[in-house]
Structure formats: C-alpha cells, structure tokens
Structure 1
Amino acid sequence: MLPTVSHYWSENPEVASSTETVDVALPDVAFSMLTDRGVFSHGHLDTGTSLLLREAPAPPHVGHLLDLGCGAGPIALAMAKRSPGATVWAVDTNERARALTSANAERNGVANLRTAAPDDVADDLEFTAIWSNPPIRIGKAALHELLLTWLPRLAPDGQAVLVVQKHLGADSLQRWLGEQGFPTDRIASKAGFRLLRTVRG
C-alpha cells in the first residue's frame, strides 16, 4: 500500500508543479535541465548523483544503457552525451519524472535517450550498463525486489554502478548483493556516499 503522502517514487505526484532550472557542469559534459517538485532532487543536482557522474567508469559506447530511477534525468543525459552510439533507457515509475527527462533530452539535443515506465521495457532487453541512484527510502524489501528485477538483465560482463548513502545502508547492501550472486566492490566514497560496482560474470 502506498503511503498517503506524495513521494518522488509515486506514479503521479500530488504536489503542485513548480519547475526550476539546474545547470550541470561535469569535466567532460554539461547540460541544463528542468527539475520539478514531486521528482527527486528538485532545484539541484544531489550529492550522490554528482559522485556517480564524476567517479563512475565510462559507460560503454554501444548497446543499451539503463538509468534506473531517472528522476529529472541527469544520469541518463550524462550517459547519452558520453555514449552517443548507445541507446539510453531512462526508467522511472514517476510519470512527472519521465516527462521531465524527455523534455530535458529535447532541450539538450539528445536523440539517443528513451524514457519508459518499468513495465514498458521489453523483457528480453539486456543492458551493457546500469547506473542508478536507487530509491532507498522505498524500504529494504521493495529495494531488493527492484534490484533483483533489473540486475539480472545485465549483459555478460555488463556493469551496474549504484550510489547509496552510508547511513542508509550502503555497506549492508554491498554485502547483500554479493550474497545474491552479484559480487560488488566499492569504487569511491565521499560526503557520506558509497559508489558500488557489480560486474556480471
């Protein structure tokens, strides 16, 4: 049962829209994006996502790449700009988030990005990379279900990179992933966040 308060992982946020533009400047790419209330990280690029975008290994140049829980789309936009020969899937349950990501792709001239609800992604599609700032606050059981739905869709030798706050269980999540057959290492740590990487064998 969904909580009565509207959260950014709700399918249709009840909070009134109030857009705000955010400029993102990374060492290799830059873009401008609209953010909105009811969508994760309204009005700024959050610290965890910034860590992922600055420290994750370069995404593959080809294949299908996944931003799981795309929000306004900063991860998907960065992946698409870095890998113009790949197809980037921006997936979110939040309808407002998907609309924002689509609009942000258009405003930045990004043509290799597709937004989709989770159920609208073909079951047989494999991903050469998955990047995510996952919605930890949905609860451990729901988070585990989410990860066990998508991580098995990594292509052989594909990599998943997740950013998780230490005090919200990053270290226990790392251990749990290993127990599920996804050996995971920590590749960066900053400002209370862990950047975790798992490689599918």
Structure 2
Amino acid sequence: MSSDHYFSAEPDAPLKRGEIEFSVAGKDYRLAVASGVFSAGRLDPGTAVLLRKAGLPTVTFEGTMLDLGCGYGPIACVLATEAPAATVYAVDVNSRARELTAENAKGKRVTVASPEEVPDDVTFDQIWSNPPTHVGKAELHALMERWLPRLAPDGVAWLVINRNLGGDSLHTWLIGLGWQVERIASQRGFRVLKVTGKSAD
C-alpha cells in the first residue's frame, strides 16, 4: 500500500484521472478528479452532509469565503455557483488538488492557493471545511488555530467532522477557546458545526 496521503504537498501516486458527478441544491456538477487527492472516487460523504445541512450562501451574497482543504474543489465550486458575486479562496497543501480545483472552477470567482499564498490581510465572511482529521489531533487543532481567527467579526465557519474521528472533542475544544459552537446536524456519523466568534460582553 502506498504511504502517500491526500494531504501530501506533492503526491507520489501515479496520476489517474477520472470524473465524478453529484447534485447540490438542485444543481448538477461534474468535476475532474485524480489519484493522490482526497476522495477521488466519489463525493466524500462528509462533504455531502456539509453541503446538504449547512447554510449555503444566497445569490446576493458578495463576501469572501474560504474552502479550507479544498481537494479537487467540490465545496468551492458549489459556493461559487450559489453566490457568483462572492470571492472564494480554495486552499490546499496538495499541488495536484489545487490543479484540479483550478480546472473545475474555471470561469468562476475562485482563487486557488496554497496556505502560504493567501494574503495575510484577507479575512473571511465564511469558512467552509471538511478538515483532514487523519493528520491527527495536534495538526487539526493547529489548522483551526491558524484559520478560524481570520473570520470577519460577524463571520461564520461551517465544519464537518466524523463523530468517530473527534467530532465531539473538537466541538468541546473550540468552545474552550472561546468560540461559539452549535451542532447544526448529525447525519451518517458526521457532525456539522457552526462556529462563530465570541459574543460581545
């Protein structure tokens, strides 16, 4: 078995391309996928739950959104389709994932970038993520501590976490850091969390 992981910066797995199809909010999508990228064989069940249960932006939304750990771009493509006037940053450490997202989001207002390429002064009205829980708790926490503080004051983060891979403990940990966390849905073993900033005193 290959030791290569979807969160590798440069995947070692031989490139095998394909396509997947899925529907969200009454719209059909067909996206290019490839080996060495997370959930290349299908729309990941956690991502499917997130897109079905979280609050998708409306067509009038003009803010800035982040798809954190974008993979081949299903979340970024849905966000950019639902809110075509918004700006979407699609961020991933995996170079092959970024190439696929750029291909899949062509013609949309999507900026594909590595984490280091996102300007420091950019804040986000919405953050969307199906984060890589398999990297381990320390790495997952570091990811959250890096990006959640970049939420705009009235911003919201939508996260989906496998219950068996730390969904409830992440919920508790985020509350301990002062975030407001609400479990919006629990489906197919996944928790959908709505994270907002500290309430004003």
Give the TM bin, normalised by the shorter chain.
Answer: over 0.9
Provide the rounded CA distance (Å) in 2 between the counterparts of 1:7 and 1:150: 22
Offset at residue 92 of structure 1 (A): 0.1
- Corresponding position of 2:171: 174
Give the secondary-structure state (helix, strand or coil) at the position aligned to 1:96: helix
Once residues 195 and 33 of structure 1 are traced to their aligned partners in structure 2, the CA distance between those partners, rounded to angstroms, is 24
Partner of 1:142: helix, strand, or coil? helix
Cα RMSD over matched residues?
A: 1.2
Partner secondary structure for residue 11 of structure 1: coil
Amino acid at match of 1:104: N
Residue 141 of structure 1 aligns with which residue? 138
Which residue number in structure 1 is paired with residue 82 of structure 2? 82
For structure 1, list consecutive stretches of 5 or more residues without a partner in the other structure. Answer: none
Give the partner amino acid of 2:22: V
Q: Distance in 2 between matches of 1:168 and 1:43?
A: 21
Work out whether residues 29 and 82 of structure 1, in 8 Å CA contact, stay in contact via their aligned partners in 2: no
- Name the CA distance, whole Å, in 1 between partners of 2:33 and 2:142: 27
Where in structure 1 do 4 or more consecutive aligned residues deviate above 3 Å?
none
When normalised by structure 2's length, the TM-score is 0.94
Q: Distance in 2 between matches of 1:6 and 1:86?
A: 34
| Partner of residue 35, structure 2 | 37
- The alignment status of 1:194 with 2:191, answered yes or no, reads yes
What is the aligned length?
A: 195
5+ residue gaps, structure 2? none
**What TM-score do you get using the length of structure 1 for normalisation?**
0.94
- Name the SS of the counterpart of 1:31 in structure 2: strand
Q: Identity over the aligned pairs, expressed in percent?
A: 47
Per-residue deviation, 1:169: 0.8
Q: Give the distance between the partners of 1:174 and 1:131, measured in 2 at CA.
A: 15
The whole-number CA distance in structure 1 between the counterparts of 2:53 and 2:37 is 24
Is the Cα–Cα contact under 8 Å of residues 70 and 76 in structure 1 kept in the other structure?
A: yes
1:135 positional shift: 0.4
